[in-house]
Structure 1
Amino acid sequence: MRIHGQTIDEQTRCVHYGTAEDVIAIKFACCGLYYPCHLCHLEDADHPAQQWPVSERDQLAVICGVCSTELTIADYLQVSGCPTCGAAFNPGCRLHTHLYFQTA
């Protein structure tokens, strides 16, 4: 899976977020491309970001950078780590949920 933006390693970390737990990339609803973060999309894409609507929470739109498992939006929003490999996801990402996914 190709991850767009300024990645700094093969586990989807980027120049903006590079901690041990920054191991996800999110498929943006507007373009269907995976980016490590909203800032990577802002810098790389030629269009504004659009959030996934609540009605599409069943879409595969989050990828674990450690094992490449794709998660649905609903599943991602309910876990704190990858259900396949156990890699922890950065809990601080919850602060940016509204940038990627519409809230109910």
Structure 2
Amino acid sequence: MKQDYVIQGVQMDHQTRCKHYAKNVDIIAIKFKCCQTYYPCYQCHQELTDHLPIIWSKAEQNEKAILCGNCKQELTIEQYKKCQSRCPLCLASFNPGCENHSHLYFE
């Protein structure tokens, strides 16, 4: 199956952990609206691009903008926000601390 997305990160592993966030549960990547590219975190985006990020608006909650690093399936922003730190598709655990950075990605 062909993937329709691009993932970039600094020292990123096969489950999208990066040099900034490398715990076992750090397995999501977020698609940045500005460049339509997935990054493991805002710091990777900052290091690898030459532009400022644009956050997703509340009206765009149905956009597929989260990638589970375990099953490689894309989730909508709404699915991700409702998932309670677990992929609704493969049940892999996500880092609940990611919620602390939500404002950097989503309105």
Q: Does 1:66 align with 2:50?
A: no
Partner of 2:104: 99
8 Å contact from structure 1 (residues 7, 36) kept in 2: no
* TM superposition shift of 1:3: 1.4
Task: Count matched residues.
Answer: 102
Unaligned regions of 5+ residues in structure 1, if any? none
Distance 2:89 2:11 in 1: 23
SS in 1 for 2:55: coil
* TM superposition shift of 1:44: 0.5
TM-score, length-scaled by structure 2: 0.92
Q: 1:6 aligns with which of 10, 16, 24?
A: 10
Percent identity between matched residues is 51
* TM superposition shift of 1:83: 1.0
CA RMSD in angstroms, aligned pairs only: 0.9
Distance 2:74 2:50 in 1: 25
Q: 1:90 aligns with which of 86, 95, 99?
A: 95
Partner of 1:40: 44
Residues 42-80 of structure 1, C-alpha deviations (whole Å, 9 max, x = no match): 000110011001100000000000010110001101112
Q: Match for 2:101: what amino acid?
A: H
Q: Match for 2:79: what amino acid?
A: D
- How is 1:18-29 mapped onto 2 (pairs within 5 angstroms)? 18-29=22-33
Runs (4+) of structure 1 exceeding 6 A deviation are none
Distance 2:39 2:45 in 1: 6
